[in-house]
Structure 1
Amino acid sequence: MKIKLYLLLLLSTTIFAQQKQVVTSIDTNKNKIGAEFKLTLKTSVNTLSKVVFPNSKNLGPLEVIRSYAVDTIKNKDRYELIKKYGLTQFDSGKYSIPSVKVLINNKPFFTDSIKVEVSNVVVDTLKQKMYDIKPIAEVTSSKSWIWKLFLILVLLAGIAAFVYWWLKIRQKKEIEEEIFKTPIEKATSLLNTLEKKELWQKGEVKAYYSELTDIARNYIEEAIDIPAMESTTSELIEGIRVASLKKKMVLSQETIENLERVLKQADLVKFAKSKPLDFEITEDRKKIEKAIITLDKSIPVVVETEDDMLLNELQRQEQLKLQLKKQRKTQIIMSVGIVVTLILAVFLFLITTRGFDYVKDNILGNPSKELLEGEWIYSEYGNPSVKIETPKVLKRTDLTQSLPKDGMALIKEMQSFVYGSISDNFQLILSTIKYKKEGEIDLSKSMESSLQVLESQGAQNMIVKKEDFETKEGVKGMKGFGTFSRIDGINKTSTKLYYEILLFSQEGGLQQILFLHEEGDKYANQISERILNSVELKKASE
């Protein structure tokens, strides 16, 4: 008898366990006043089942402060649905969360009741200081920052224009001063400038000898027509000897030897790291100056005609124009550099003080932000019609090619309207369908079909969540949302996209709204919220 009773008890327990469809759990049984208890209801059903979780503002003595979206985990041919509630109580004590009813295919199943305890928050006013209420903080408008930035850029442009003008006037004067009538005048002026620099006195002996010999070589090249800048010291001295015979120049052997000695000394300083004594440097400078003056005096004087003088003047003017053009180019580069540097400084300041996202969204530009802040359009689309507010007008398109042939055989009329594309990671599609055969439309199956279309277009690793949806006018439908990955076959990159699908069955037809964008785009999230809040349909007659 005891054995039979035991078997009967075991059998009844097994039957009860098999019938238990909803598993109830809570994150904690004890919490402080106002803190959140997270109640979790979990059930496993097949893909055709319809589950309705309770939608109440209170669960017994506890207030529902948040009703979380249903999480859906697909496991082969079944769905695991997880519904969470955020509960709280503002009075201390022990409470019981009652058993609630969950409908699965219109059959009621009840959750377990759970006991919880709410404790007081102990405040020691002797240790804890009391503070006055803070004054109202002023919020700085982002538009005011844009105006400030615009004024800063205008000021920077004005500064750059002034710098450009100042450099142009200054360098023009310098160019005019640097245009000399004769090579000897130029060489003498450059020698005096070199002495004022006091290079060798500062230890820059190599730089001093380099400039000193360059002045001499430039003079020889301009006055005697010898490629002095490209010649070695030996080639230059030989060229001077040959030119002196051709031009009938009277040059002493001492002048040529002194010039050769200084040039070789300069070669040793530049290439052999030789360091002459101070008096040797002074003597070398005097020898170069004397050699240049002697060479200039030995050049036969050619009496210029008026035509020659005019030609020389034209050459001088042409040289001046070329140098002015070169300096103008330098001025432009300098001005652009100054402006770019100042702009980068402003950008760096804004990034430091306001953050990179602020600069990226407000200065560089953000397409989603521009759509959100642009002029929206409230219009009516399709048949049965859907009223919706969108940032841009939706364009009529033909999406029948994306549907399977067996599905198209059931459709009498389909109208589709689109903005954006899945390849741009931003898309809004509105479709209305009328079927040949009238009857009740299963929104769950329609949702499955919509998700399959996304998968056929390359959606991978799809996470699906579902919940009931109701417009402001009380039209009920179904909402599906979640994320999926889109693989770019060309760039071999993966992008995670967030999607939302709304389905309605009105006037014997199906209305569908699909909106997807890159996950984490806060402006696109606001666009999505505004669009969904604006959706309205004609309420079906009962």
Structure 2
Amino acid sequence: MKKHLYLLLLLLSTAVFAQQKQVVTSIDTIKNKIGAEFKLSIKTTVDSSSRVIFPKSRNFGALEVIQSYPVDTVKIDGRYELTKRYGLTQFDSGRYVIPRFKIFINNQAFLTDSLLVEVANVQVDTLKQKMYDIKDIAPAEETMGNWWKYVLAILVLAGIAVLIYWFIKKRQEKKLQEEVFKTPIEKATTLLDTLERKELWQKGEVKAYYSELTDIARNYIEEAIEIPAMESTTSELIQGLRAASVKKKMTLSQEIIENLERVLKQADLVKFAKSKPLDFEITEDRNKIQKVILTLDKSIPVEVPLEEELLLNEAQKQKQIELQLRKQRKKRIQTAIASVVFLVTAVTTYFIATRGFDFVKDNIMGHPTKELLEGEWVKSEYGNPGIIIETPKVLKRVDLTKTLPKNGMALIKEMQSFGYGSIVDRFYVMVSTLKFKAETQIDLAKSMDGALQSLEAQGAQNMIVKQEEFETPEGVKGLKAYGTFSQLDSQNKTTARMYYEALLFSQEGGLQQILIFHEEGDSYGNEISERVLNTVELKQASK
């Protein structure tokens, strides 16, 4: 019986040992320098159907996980050897234990081994290494900013305007070349040929064809015979033509005048009575108009102009061309400007409709807190006890001792203040730390009242105060005050409503304060405040 019991215990212990050894833990080194990487390896061997879950943690004990490497898989005799590596580091010297943690294989937990590692300081030989004084904050180089975007937009709009101007100019030059003819008969015959090339009546546009055909005839009669043919009715035109032929001693046959009258009446029927002549009738009407124009041109008595009249006519013609060119140039400029204005208005309207007016205003005209939010942020430590905080700009040292009462300054051993902006700006960040001469029990509520009273002394009015407890991500508790106040702009004589948030933390012999405010309703300011306060880290006071 004892023998069987002994064998049973031996089997159980072997099973437990085998279970514990299914996960093997190792590390590349047990001693490293501050900030150097420890490589922790976890190895297990499973079959192809097993499901293994490695931990996803940001910290293993006091060591921070800086890198989680992919799982390395090796197939050995039909089984798989899985190796998971983690990169760990620590920025404070000392000895640290990497605790045991669970690895799940097919939903069954297996514990890793705990390991002891040592983080050593970097030795600095101050006898060989020359020491230097602490340097002042060096101003960062100014970035390009957003000015290039505005220049690019102006260049694009100017390019569009130039293209529109050039396109209209080409069309107008072509049109001007077509419109400038030496004689009325040249113009009429050219326009008749152009009309035929359009093939309007073949496309079913009979009304448009007859309108252009009769306009060519009327325009020729008005220019060559000098009667108001364009504004006259058909009967008035025929009467005027008969009278002009007698006055100018033109030899016109009755057939020519009747043919012209017949075509004009046919055109009136087409335009106003929706008449549809046959194809051969349209062709005949076109030929009649051409014959009428040619006959009229031959019947006009030829007057040989004097040389002075020729020069005068040529000068008048050139002057007329210059006048037309000037009008066209003015029209091109107006059209280009109107097109650009329309384009800008359309794009602006679209973005206002889809994104809102504030989006357009902030991105085109700019917004100070938006530029701060989207700029390069700076993380730094300020004061003693130290406050590590991330801000849009580097906070510069300021002197706030003048704002404190003399009896209060008598209790303070050390005070350091850093800020960006000023109390009259639309955005302000201030970090302040102080240490008292004697150990005192600090009442955060009273200290907060004093800080807010100091703010009122600098111009804050109608202050609304709300208070609540605040806790940093590291678990340090403090007091938070928030609310609004009115701020008077002495230069513009205007009042703005500001939103503020203030944090106070108490440590042994020290007080840490953070104040941030911006214009109420400023969404970018809200984002900045939230981001700044989420990065607050506190250090213990040094003696």
Q: Give the TM-score band, short-chain normalised.
A: 0.3 to 0.5
For normalisation by structure 2, the TM-score amounts to 0.48
For normalisation by structure 1, the TM-score amounts to 0.48
